[in-house]
Amino acid sequence: MLPVDDVGIAIADVYGKALLKLAGDAGAAAPMLEEFGGLVVYVNSNSDFEFFLTSVTVDTEARRATLEKAMRGPASDLLVDFLQILNGKDRLPLLEQIYVRYRLAYEADRKQIEVTATTATPLSGGTRESLLAALRKHTGQEPILTEKVDGALIGGLVVHVGDEKIDFSVANRLRSYRSAFLTRASLEIHGGREYFKEV
């Protein structure tokens, strides 16, 4: 699905939180998270279905009838009812972003936070537990960890906690050392002193 602007995100936030309230009242917040997420994955993997949901060339009433016939039964009534509301309000193009806002609100309610850890090699069990413990202490929340591997880091790790980036990678330290070295060398050269005398 296409990216959305700040206004779209704000609208998606309203719908996501409204769905969470409805699902929570029905004792189905966790099942809805899984079901809604599965739908978004399916939409993103099926261009024809995405077109059907989001294109202005598809008649709203025809879309409503097709959604009712295809999804009522296989999907929960709450999700189908919600899709019908989105269809009636022309908000189906925001479906993925609404899911994201639902998930973030769900995690916030449970004092959870999404964390991505990128390392040069896969984390060992002990390192993972140490990282999780440090993140719990740092955030005061329960981290939901996604692990990625990037050999370009050489070693260490880069952690994204929400919008915060914490870079402990060897590659980043090398860049810092190189920058400091070049800065000091430039100062020494322009100051007329011999740089290597102090090294």
Task: Indicate if the pLDDT at residue 188 is higher than 80.
Answer: no
Sign of the alpha-carbon torsion through 99, 100, 101, 103:
positive
How much is the mean pLDDT over the chain?
Answer: 85
Decide if 86 contacts 94 (C-beta within 8 A).
Answer: yes
pTM value? 0.68
Decide if 13 contacts 22 (C-beta within 8 A).
Answer: no
Q: Percentage of residues in the chain with pLDDT exceeding 90?
A: 53
Mean pLDDT, range 106-131, rounded to an integer: 88
Task: Indicate if the pLDDT at residue 53 is higher than 90.
Answer: yes
Rounded CA-CA distance 130/28 in Å is 33
Decide if 89 contacts 60 (C-beta within 8 A).
Answer: no
Q: Identify the residue with better confidence: 179 or 100.
A: 100
Question: Could you give the 3-state DSSP secondary structure of residue 136?
Answer: helix
Rounded CA-CA distance 14/24 in Å is 15
Decide if 92 contacts 79 (C-beta within 8 A).
Answer: no
Decide if 100 contacts 17 (C-beta within 8 A).
Answer: no
Mean pLDDT, range 143-160, rounded to an integer: 84
DSSP for residue 26: T
- Please, what are the domains in the chain? 6-108 (1.10.520), 112-170 (no CATH)
**Structure tokens of 79?**
């999700």
Decide if 155 contacts 170 (C-beta within 8 A).
Answer: yes
By mean pLDDT, which of 12-21, 31-40, 90-99, 115-124 is the weakest?
A: 115-124
* Beta-bridge mates of residue 160: 116, 165
